């Protein structure tokens, strides 16, 4: 278990799997799964319950959060 890499659960309803991937690999991991397993269809996705949380974190990271100006 690594503390310095935030991992995000990617859920695939068709495969009935949940895979934790590092946030930095997230787009590639989702696309790779869908390309290889589902012929490019958008099936696997980030756990919806996590999306908002990750979006918040990412926004803070990038500095797009509320306290500009």
**What x/- string results for residues 36 through 55 when contact with Zn ion is judged by CB under 5 A?**
-x------x-----------
Least distance to Zn ion from the beta carbon of 60, Å?
Answer: 31
Q: In this chain, which of 11, 12, 54, 57 binds Zn ion, going by CB under 5 A?
A: 12
What the block records as the tokens of 20 is: 């934790």
The residues near 12 (Cβ < 8 Å, ≥ 6 apart) are 18, 19, 33, 37, 43, 44, 45
**Spatial contact of 43 and 37, defined as CB atoms under 8 Å apart:** yes
Stretch that binds Zn ion, among 5-13, 24-32, 48-56, 59-67 (CB under 5 A): 5-13
Name the residues that contact Zn ion, by CB under 5 A: 12, 14-15, 37, 44
């Amino acid at each position: 278990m690594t503390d310095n890499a935030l991992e995000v659960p990617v859920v695939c309803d068709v495969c009935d799997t949940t895979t934790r991937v590092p946030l930095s690999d997230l787009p590639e991991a989702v696309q790779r799964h869908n390309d290889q397993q589902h012929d490019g269809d958008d099936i696997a996705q980030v756990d919806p319950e996590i999306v908002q949380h990750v979006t918040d974190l990412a926004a803070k990271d990038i500095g797009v959060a509320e306290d500009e100006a």
